[in-house]
Amino acid sequence: MAKTKIKTIAILTGGGDCPGLNAVIRAVSKTAIYNYDIDVLGVEDGYLGLIENRLRPLRQLDVSGILTTGGTILGTSNIADPFHFPVKTNGKTILTDVSHKVISNLKKHNVDALICIGGDGTMASAAKLAKLGIPIMGVPKTIDNDLVGTDMTFGFDTAVTTATEAIDKVHTTASSHHRVMIIEVMGRYAGWIALHAGVASGSDIILIPEIPFKISAITDFILERSALGKRFSIITVAEGAKEKGGSLTVQQTIKDSPDPIRLGGIAARLSAVIQQKTSLETRPVVLGHIQRGGTPTPFDRVLATNYGYTAIKLLMENNVKNHLVVMQGGKFGSIPLSRVAGKIKPVPKDHPLVQAAKAVATCFGV
């Protein structure tokens, strides 16, 4: 085992909550404590806790029994960015660089390395902190599966499972009432959840951001199904899907947030148009944050454990820093944070699952 000067690490969970976060916290902490005799600190509420100096010890008992628990025992924040933090000055709120507070607070606690668990926003901030001299290891978390460099993020499998089970339930009521049902799923600007849940549930139409749709193609497909005696249709739509030549459907804009756009409402928009053009009863269903919650699937528990273990192993034995732990081709390794920051991984239009869905007559609105 290579010698290292690392004696204390801190862990934070940033961005939206996600099934499997606690599994990573557990794996990181137990690996560090049992195998390397490292002190572990937990940062409360993501980067906000680093800015406000809210760090607490994580011991064996603190991380026992949390493998199967959803959410995060540390809390999180998806609006705290150390480089664009809202500070009130003379009655006005100004986005300010407070990264110096992060550095100061880490020094106060003698933190030698920081484990950042999060998605693209969390990694973008992590990459900037790394440039300021903070040794960092990133762990890829997002239900959206849109992080560059890794085949799969933990939380994705659970979200797809939750969405699929919900669509299965909608399927029976659609059949009973002979309706067109439009199920809106999360994913932001990538269609991974919609694609996987749509295929798994046997959705008739799948709409994703990477393949802009035509309303006429959707309504023609539904009417053709109706003419063949198929009295209902299931549409799975990603929140970031949009009409060809159209714009995204924005639910709200969060002022002072590093990522102010909150997508949502595409199912309702489509429902009104489809019902008007086909005269078929149409209903929107928005799954929303239910996709983020609940117990992580066994796959996500295993993936999260592997990610947490690998993060510490690379840090301690290979002296790897300022990298993101990734899984590529079933093997675990890492890539520089600079390759991930500010980027997302969209669904390729020729992805094998897209091709398979088309082969079984699934419509993508084109």
Q: Give residue 300's domain range.
A: 8-154+296-339
Residues 188 and 71 in one domain: no
Q: How far is CA 275 from CA 223, 267, 269, in A?
A: 11, 12, 10
Same domain assignment for residues 102 and 223: no
The CATH number linked to 164 is 3.40.50.460
Task: Choose among 153, 143, 168: nearest CA to 294.
Answer: 143
Tell whether 113 and 183 lie within a shared domain: no
318/224 same-domain check: no
Whether residue 301 sits in one domain with residue 289: no
Please indicate, yes or no, whether residues 132 and 50 belong to a single structural domain of this protein. yes
Q: Are residues 193 and 275 in the same domain?
A: yes
In a domain, 246, yes or no: yes
- In this structure, is residue 359 part of a structural domain? no
H-type alpha helices, 178-296: 192-201, 215-227, 266-278
Tens digit of pLDDT per residue, the chain (366 long)?
344 589 999 999 998 889 999 999 999 999 999 999 999 999 999 999 999 999 999 999 999 999 999 999 999 987 889 999 988 888 888 889 999 999 999 999 999 999 999 998 899 999 999 999 999 999 999 999 999 999 999 999 999 999 999 999 999 888 787 889 999 999 999 999 999 999 999 999 999 999 999 999 999 999 999 999 998 999 999 999 999 998 888 877 777 666 677 888 999 999 999 999 999 999 999 999 999 999 999 999 999 999 999 999 999 999 999 999 999 999 999 999 999 988 899 999 999 999 999 999 999 999
Please give the distance of CA 54 from its chain centroid, rounded to a whole number.
24
Q: Are residues 26 and 150 in the same domain?
A: yes
Whether 306 maps to a domain, the answer reads yes
- Is the entire prediction scored with pTM above 0.85? yes
Nearest C-alpha neighbor of 42 from the set 15, 67, 19, 75: 75
CA angle 224, 166, 330 (to 5 degrees): 100
Distance CA 285, CA 306 (A): 35
Task: Let me know whether 177 and 54 are in one domain.
Answer: no
The answer on 51 and 166 residing in a single domain is no
**Among candidate residues 233, 266, 293, the one where a domain is terminated:** 293
CA angle in degrees (0–180, nearest 5) for 100-101-104: 85
- Residue 360 is assigned to a structural domain of this protein: no
- Residue 301's identity, in one-letter code, is R
Q: Which residues are catalytic?
A: 144
Look at the chain and report how many structural domains it folds into. 2
Q: Is residue 177 located within the same domain as residue 204?
A: yes
Q: Which of 236, 221, 233 is nearest to 177 (CA)?
A: 233
